[in-house]
Every structure is written in C-alpha cells, then in structure tokens.
C-alpha cells in the first residue's frame, strides 16, 4: 500500500484543498496529514497572538473533520522552518511515505523552505507535488504584452478578468471517507508554545463551517450593498472573510464561485464586482511578491523613497499605537485594532496615511505593528497596503496625496457613530463637533479627558511634502 502525506500549512480546510484532494484520488492509498507549528518562525514574522489562537482553534476543528474521513492529523511543534524540515524528513521515513502533497506559499522564506524540502525528500525517494492553491490564478499567469508583471493595478485587474472569462478555476469537493471509515481522534492537539490571545468569536468564529456560513450569507444580499456601504466603519458592510482567506480556512475559488452562483453578472461589472475586485487586489499583491521577492524583505518598490528621512519620534509612535493622537477617527480605528485584532479597510488607509504622512514615521513601523495585532494578518496584503499609503510601492498613492484625518472622519463617519463606539470620552460632544472636539470644548468651557492633537495637519503635510521632495531630488 502506498502512503500519501498532506503537509498542511496555510490551508486549514477539507473543501477545495488542492493538495488534500490530490492525495485522496487514489482510493487504495493510505493518507496522512501533518501540521508543524513553528513558533520561532512566527515570532520572526510578527504573527499576532489573536491569529495564532484562531489558527489553533481552526486546526483542532480540522483534525475532527479529517478523522471523520479516516485521515489522521499528526502534529509536531518545531522551533523554525529548518527544524520543521528535519522533522518532516524523519516523519516520512518512519511512516514510509511515498508521495508528499502540499500547497505553495509565496513568501520568500516559505519558498526557500519548500525548495529545500523537495530536495531533501527527493534524496529519500519521496515524490513531491506542489499546487497553486491560495490564488485564483497562478503567479506569472497574468502579464503585460511584454510578458512582465503588471506594476499598476487597473490594467492587471482587467487582464485578470479576461483570463477568468476564458475559464474559471475549478473548485474541488471535500474528499470522501477512506475505505476504513471514520477514525477516532487519539491525541488532541496541545496549545502552541506561542502567545495566544482571545479573539471575538462572534465576529470571527473559527473553523471551516463558520467560514462557509459567512460566505453564503455575504454572497446572497450584503455583497450587493458592498459598494455603497464598504467605506462606512459604523456599518457592518464588509464581508469579514479576510481572516479565513489569510489562514487558508477558505479559498478564493470558493468565494468566486459562490458570488457567481448568486450574481452571474459579477465579472461583467455587476454590483458584486466591487467586492470581487478586492479579491483581485489580493491576487495582485501576491503575484507582485513572487515577481519582486525584495518586497518580502520589506524593501520599497520605488527606489528613491529609500532616501526619505523619517522622524524617529517614539512618543508619536506610541500615541498612534494606543489611539491617543487627538484625531478621533484615527484613535477610534486604532482602538478597534487593539481590541478586535481587526480594522475596517477604509480606516486602515486613514491610520496608515496619518502615521506616514502626518507623523512622518517610517512605514515599516506601521507594517510591523499591524502584523503584531491583526487576526487577518497577511504579508503580501499588509505590505502592499502600507506601501500604497506610504507612496513607496507599486501603483501607490502619489506622495503628494495626503489624507486629512479630520475630513476623512467627517466624510465616512459624519455623525461620529463609529467614533463614539471606541472613544466613550467623547460621548457628550455634539455630532457636528465630534471630529474637532477640542474646538467645541474650548468654545463651551468644557473639559475633555481626551488628548489634544499631537500634530497640526497643515504643518505636518508641508513637512512631509518637503521630505519627499528632498528624497526625490537626491535620487
């Protein structure tokens, strides 16, 4: 009997899991699954404790789902990728594994790990099969007429949609139970030796069933209103699927097919296309990461922006992190992040712009802090978003485009509903003054337990423009 091993990483699901599906195609094969936790590596990558807890809970649920299909899930904690390779090689020898199945990861450390694993296992006579599983289309499959990677999103999106019209990526069913039927879970997975922090399970329930339920709900009606509601942080207008995509509990193909089932015109500009285009943004950043591996090393895409002289102001950085900048929309957003491990997408742009363009603090500091907090942390998307806001990346906002945090708040949270949710100290401030509470307090002889703005936006904007102009001239 041949033995097939599925090496699980960022793909914690049984439905539409390319590696699992392929491993189970031979009905006579013995199929095993393995997950290796690498807390030392996670620490280097700044994984948020909330995300680690979400992964742990999802992994435990996956263990049960695999057992129902007669597939045991083996677990081992190793310190880092190098140690996990040693364990993988030993495990394959002990279990007499003939073939290894795994889904690609596209970050540079992960790609180097997988290349080393293939070489090591090839020497042991193990056949390795990898799959493009976490994307709709493989990296390098959507290119310009000159056969290069797009550097601007809009033409990438148009080319991407054309490719989808030519043929949709296939979704795989969950494997059937193996010939021996369900098995008992003999050993429960112990908690990771990594900081685990409770998360709001009502907003982000762990596991594949919860992910599919949320997708089905969103795809029916909320996706139609997404274009109109997505920028309003006080409204539950987003999908809240990002954590499932980031951890591989849900695949982008499942999202695409589910949306098209309810909205067949989505790829032709229908209402649901606005949300599908967000999936294409996700693809764009991952394709870029493969084409330009320096992005994984936190290098700016626009070379001359290396010359920007960032301010090293620890007090300002801490004020931003703690939501004490004196700008209500920024502070409410940061307190949402610190509490939930999640932030509304419009707010991510606002707070990133504030850190980089108002405080002139290095975008790397913001990128790192987000990864340390986000339950849906994803290197490609997080790096792409921060470089967009910092005007250092491909298809980035021009450096002279600087959000005014006050007017952003007035536009997207006009009555301050979201602000009041996270800044209870401003509860008494009237709607008309919620975005400039100190002006109201001074006029009405009130005292607020809320910090004064740590910078004046107009002056900060000029300072930032000067810094970027000098950096560009130096290049």
The confidence score (pLDDT) of residue 186 equals 84
229 and 115 assigned to the same domain: no
Q: Please indicate, yes or no, whether residues 253 and 148 belong to a single structural domain of this protein.
A: yes
Name the nearest CA neighbour of 104 among 81, 141, 131, 139.
131
Domain match, 362 and 464 both: yes
Residue 240 among known ligand-binding residues = yes
The answer to whether the CB of 327 falls within 8 A of the CB of 362 is no
Q: Is 180 within the bounds of a domain?
A: no
Task: Find, among 212, 135, 141, the residue nearest to 173 by Cα.
Answer: 212
**Domain termination residue (choose one: 243, 263, 291):** 291
Residue 359 marked in a binding site? no
User: What is the rounded distance in angstroms from the CA atom of residue 450 to the CA atom of residue 327?
Assistant: 10
Burial 45-63 (b: 16+ CB within 10 A, else e): ebbbbbbbbbbbbbbbbbb
* Whole-number Å distance between alpha carbons of 186 and 190: 12
Using CA atoms, how far apart are residues 296 and 371, in angstroms rounded to an integer? 13
pLDDT of 397: 78
For the chain (475 residues), the mean pLDDT of every run of 10, in chain order, is: 97 98 97 98 97 98 98 98 98 98 97 97 98 97 96 97 97 95 93 98 98 97 94 96 98 98 96 96 97 94 96 98 98 98 97 98 98 98 96 88 96 98 97 97 94 97 97 92
In a domain, 189, yes or no: no
Tell me if 238 is assigned to a ligand binding site: yes
CATH number of the domain where residue 76 is located: 3.40.50.620
Nearest residue to 409 (alpha-carbon basis) of 340, 350, 345, 459: 350
How high is the pLDDT of residue 339?
98
Task: Count the Cβ atoms, other than its own, within 10 Å of residue 362.
Answer: 18
Residue 464: which region, alpha, beta or left (left: phi > 0; alpha: psi -120 to 50)? alpha
Please say which residue of 291, 321, 344 terminates a domain.
291
CATH code of the domain covering residue 275: 1.25.40.80
Other beta carbons within 10 angstroms of residue 90's beta carbon come to: 11
Active site residues: 278, 281, 310, 345, 363, 386
Between the alpha carbon of residue 185 and those of residues 188, 221, 296, the distances in Å are: 7, 39, 38
- The strand pair at 127-131 and 30-37 is best described as unpaired
141 in the same domain as 254 = yes
What share of residues in the chain are helix, strand, coil (percent, to 5)?
55, 5, 40
For residue 248, the tally of other CB atoms under 10 A from its CB is: 21
- Considering the domain architecture, whether residues 433 and 359 belong to the same structural domain is answered as yes
Q: Same structural domain for residues 153 and 106?
A: no
Burial track 335-349 (b if 16+ CB lie within 10 A, e otherwise): bbbeebbbbbebbbb
402 labelled binding-site residue: no
* Same-domain pairing of 352 and 459: yes
**3-state secondary structure at position 101:** strand
CA distances from 197 to 61, 80, 86, 384, 440 (A): 18, 21, 29, 26, 39
Q: Please indicate, yes or no, whether residues 246 and 336 belong to a single structural domain of this protein.
A: no
Look at the pTM and tell me if it is higher than 0.95.
yes
Number of domains in the chain: 3
Structural domain span for residue 379: 303-470
Same domain, 226 and 82: no
> Do 362 and 313 belong together in one domain?
yes
Same structural domain, 96 and 157: no
Final residue belonging to a domain, choices 71, 101, 131: 131
Domain at 454, CATH number = 1.10.579.10
User: Is 460 found in the same domain as 311?
Assistant: yes
Q: What's residue 1's pLDDT?
A: 87
| In-domain check, residue 190 | no
* 432 lies in some domain: yes
Asked whether residue 297 is assigned to any structural domain, the reply reads no
Is 104 annotated in a binding site? The answer is: no
Q: 164: closest CA among 277, 243, 241, 13?
A: 277
Q: What is the pLDDT of residue 131?
A: 98
Is 280 annotated as ligand-binding?
A: yes
């Amino acid at each position: 009997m041949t033995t097939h091993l599925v090496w699980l990483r960022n793909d914690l699901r049984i439905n539409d899991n390319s590696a699992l599906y392929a491993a189970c195609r031979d009905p006579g094969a013995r199929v095993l699954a393995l997950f290796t936790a690498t807390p030392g590596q996670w620490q280097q990558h700044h994984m948020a404790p909330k995300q680690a807890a979400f992964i742990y809970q999802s992994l435990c649920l996956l263990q049960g789902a695999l057992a129902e299909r007669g597939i045991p899930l083996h677990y081992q904690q190793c310190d880092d990728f190098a140690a996990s390779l040693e364990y993988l090689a030993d495990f394959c020898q002990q279990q007499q594994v003939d073939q290894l199945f795994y889904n690609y990861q596209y970050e540079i450390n992960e790609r180097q790990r997988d290349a080393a694993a293939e070489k090591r296992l090839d020497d042991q006579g193990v056949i390795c099969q990898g799959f493009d599983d976490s994307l709709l289309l493989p990296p390098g499959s959507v290119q310009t007429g000159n056969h290069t990677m797009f550097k601007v999103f809009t033409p990438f999106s148009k080319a991407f949609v054309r490719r989808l019209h030519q043929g949709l990526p296939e979704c795989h069913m969950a494997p059937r139970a193996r010939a021996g039927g369900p098995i008992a879970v003999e050993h429960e997975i112990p908690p990771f030796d990594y900081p685990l922090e409770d998360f709001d399970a009502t907003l982000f329930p762990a596991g594949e069933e919860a992910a599919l339920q949320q997708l089905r709900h969103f795809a029916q009606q909320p996706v139609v209103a997404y274009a109109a509601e997505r920028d309003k942080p006080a409204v539950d207008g987003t999908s809240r699927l990002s954590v499932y995509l980031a951890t591989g509990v849900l695949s982008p193909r499942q999202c695409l097919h589910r949306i098209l089932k309810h909205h067949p015109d989505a790829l032709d500009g229908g209402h649901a296309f606005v949300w599908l285009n967000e999936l294409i943004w996700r693809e764009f950043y991952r394709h870029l990461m493969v084409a330009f591996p320096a992005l994984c090393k936190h290098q700016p895409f626009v070379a001359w922006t290396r010359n920007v002289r960032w301010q090293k102001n620890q007090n300002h950085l801490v004020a931003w992190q703690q939501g004490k900048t004196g700008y209500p929309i920024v502070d409410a957003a940061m307190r949402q992040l610190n509490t939930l491990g999640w932030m509304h997408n419009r707010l991510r742009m606002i707070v990133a712009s504030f850190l980089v363009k108002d405080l002139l603090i290095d975008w790397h500091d913001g990128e790192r802090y987000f990864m340390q907090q986000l339950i849906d942390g994803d290197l490609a998307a997080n790096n792409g978003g921060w470089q967009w806001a910092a005007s250092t990346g491909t298809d980035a906002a021009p450096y002279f485009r600087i959000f005014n945090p006050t007017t952003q708040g007035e536009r997207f949270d006009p009555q301050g509903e979201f602000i009041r949710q996270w800044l209870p100290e401003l509860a008494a401030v009237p709607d008309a003054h919620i975005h400039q509470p100190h002006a109201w307090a001074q006029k009405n002889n009130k005292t607020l337990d809320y910090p004064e703005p740590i910078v004046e936006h107009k002056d900060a904007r000029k300072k930032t423009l000067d810094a970027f102009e000098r950096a560009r001239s130096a290049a």
